[in-house]
Amino acid sequence: MTAVIALVGRPNVGKSTFFNRLTRTREALVADFPGLTRDRHYGTAQFEGRQYLVIDTGGFEPEEREGLVAAMAIQTRLAIQEADAICFLVDAKEGLSAQDEEIAMELRRGGKPIYLVVNKMDAKGAVSELPEFHRLGLGMPYTISAAHGHGVETLLEAVFSDLPSEEIAQQDAGKGPRIAMLGRPNVGKSTLVNAMLGEKRVLVFDEPGTTRDSIRIPYERDGKPYVMIDTAGMRRRARVGEGLEKLSVLKTLGALREADVVLLVLDARVGIAEQDSHLVGVAVELGRPIVVVINKWDGMSPHERKAVKQELERRLSFIQYAPVYTISALHGTGVGDLYKSIDRLWQDSRKHFSTGELNRALGEIIETHQPPMVGGRRIKLRYCHQGGENPVTLVFHGNQLTRLPGSYKRYLESAFRKALHLDSIPLRLLFRQGENPYDPQRGKH
Q: What is the pLDDT of residues 126-162, one digit of tens each?
A: 555 577 888 888 988 999 999 999 999 999 999 999 8
Q: Residues marked as binding?
A: 9-16, 56-60, 119-122, 183-190, 230-234, 295-298
Percent of the chain with pLDDT over 90: 34
Distance of CA 67 to the CA centre of its chain: 35
What confidence score (pLDDT) does residue 312 get?
Answer: 86
Domain boundaries, the chain: 3-163, 171-347, 355-433
Check residues 45 and 133 and name the one with the higher pLDDT. Answer: 133
Does 355-433 match 171-347 at the fold level? no
**Per-residue confidence (pLDDT) for residue 25, from 0 to 100:** 45
103: Cβ–Cβ under 8 A, 6 or more apart, which residues?
8, 9, 10, 60, 68, 88
Sequence-separated (6 or more) residues with CB below 8 Å from residue 204: 197, 217, 218, 219
pLDDT band at 81 (very low <50, low <70, confident <90, very high): confident
Sign of torsion over alpha carbons 9, 11, 14, 16: positive
**Residue 327 — pLDDT band, cuts 50, 70, 90?**
very high
Higher confidence at residue 356 or residue 285?
A: 356
User: Which pLDDT value is given to residue 286?
Assistant: 79
Let me know: does 182 contact 263? Beta carbons within 8 Å: yes
Query: Across residues 31-40, what is the average pLDDT?
Result: 33
pLDDT-derived band at 202, boundaries 50, 70, 90: very low
Least confident piece of the model among 154-168, 255-269, 371-385: 154-168
User: Which residue type occupies 102?
Assistant: E
Average pLDDT for residues 297-307, to the nearest whole number? 90
Contact 182, 253 (CB under 8 A): no
Distance CA 47, CA 108 (A): 26
Confidence of residue 69 (pLDDT cuts 50, 70, 90): very low
Q: What is the pLDDT of residue 338?
A: 95
Residue 432 gets which letter from DSSP? Answer: E
Q: Kindly state the DSSP code that residue 150 receives in the 8-state scheme.
A: B
Q: Does 316 score more than 90 pLDDT?
A: no
**Which pLDDT does position 160 carry in this prediction?**
92
> Which pLDDT score, from 0 to 100, does residue 251 have?
65
Cβ neighbours of residue 422 closer than 8 Å, sequence gap 6 or more: 348, 351, 392, 416
Q: pTM value?
A: 0.61
Cα within 13 Å of Cα(77), Cβ side: 15
Question: Taking phi first (over 0 means left), then psi (-120 to 50 degrees means alpha), and beta for anything else, what does residue 278 get?
Answer: alpha
Provide the pLDDT for residue 398.
Answer: 92
* Average pLDDT for 237-263: 64
- In this structure, which topology does domain 355-433 adopt according to CATH? GMP Synthetase; Chain A, domain 3 (3.30.300)
Label residues 190-224 b or e (16+ Cβ within 10 Å = b).
bbbbbbbbeeeeeeeeeeebebbbbebbbbebeee
Cα–Cα distance, 191 to 198 (Å, whole number): 10
Question: What is the predicted pLDDT for the residue at 60?
Answer: 54
Q: Which of 109-118, 233-242, 383-392, 407-416 is predicted least confidently? A: 233-242
Residue 35, pLDDT above cutoff 60: no
Distance CA 217, CA 199 (A): 14
- Among 210, 255, 198, which residue's Cα sits nearest to residue 231? 255
Q: For residue 241, what pLDDT is reported?
A: 44
More confident residue, 188 or 2: 188
Calculate mean pLDDT across residues 325-343. 93
Q: What is the mean pLDDT of residues 36-44?
A: 48
Q: Give the separation between CA 260 and CA 176, rounded to whole angstroms.
A: 9
Give CA–CA dist 442/440, Å, rounded.
Answer: 5
The pLDDT of 219-245, averaged and rounded, is 61
Task: Say yes or no to pLDDT of 367 above 90.
Answer: yes
Known binding residues for GTP are 9-16, 56-60, 119-122, 183-190, 230-234, 295-298
| Averaged pLDDT for residues 417-445 | 74
What values do phi and psi take at 226, rounded to 5? -140, 165
- Contact present, 11 and 59 (Cβ < 8 Å): yes
pLDDT above 60 (res 201): no
Angle of helix 355-368 versus helix 406-420 axis, rounded to 10: 120
Residue 376 has pLDDT above 80, yes or no: yes
Length of the chain, in residues: 445
Taking residues 233-256, report their average pLDDT.
Answer: 52
Least confident of 162-176, 196-210, 245-259, 325-339: 196-210
How many whole angstroms separate alpha carbon 394 and alpha carbon 392? 7
> Bridge partners of 184?
none
Q: Which of 162, 6, 161, 169 is nearest to 81 (CA)?
A: 6
Mean pLDDT of 264-279: 82
Class of domain 3-163: alpha beta
Residue 41: pLDDT band with limits 50, 70, 90 = low
Q: Is the bond into 391 cis (omega within 30 degrees of 0)?
A: yes
Q: What is the mean pLDDT of the chain?
A: 78
- Residue with the bigger pLDDT between 312 and 245: it is 312
Is the pLDDT at 348 greater than 70? The verdict is: yes
**Dist. CA 334–CA 236, nearest whole Å:** 26
Whether residue 169 is predicted with pLDDT greater than 80 in this model: the reply is no
Helix (H, G, I), strand (E, B) or coil at 262: strand
Q: Which residue has the higher pLDDT, 335 or 126?
A: 335
> What is the 8-class DSSP label of residue 381?
E
Grade residue 117 by pLDDT with cuts at 50, 70 and 90: very high
Note the pLDDT of residue 231. Answer: 59
Q: How is domain 171-347 classified at the CATH fold level?
A: Rossmann fold (3.40.50)
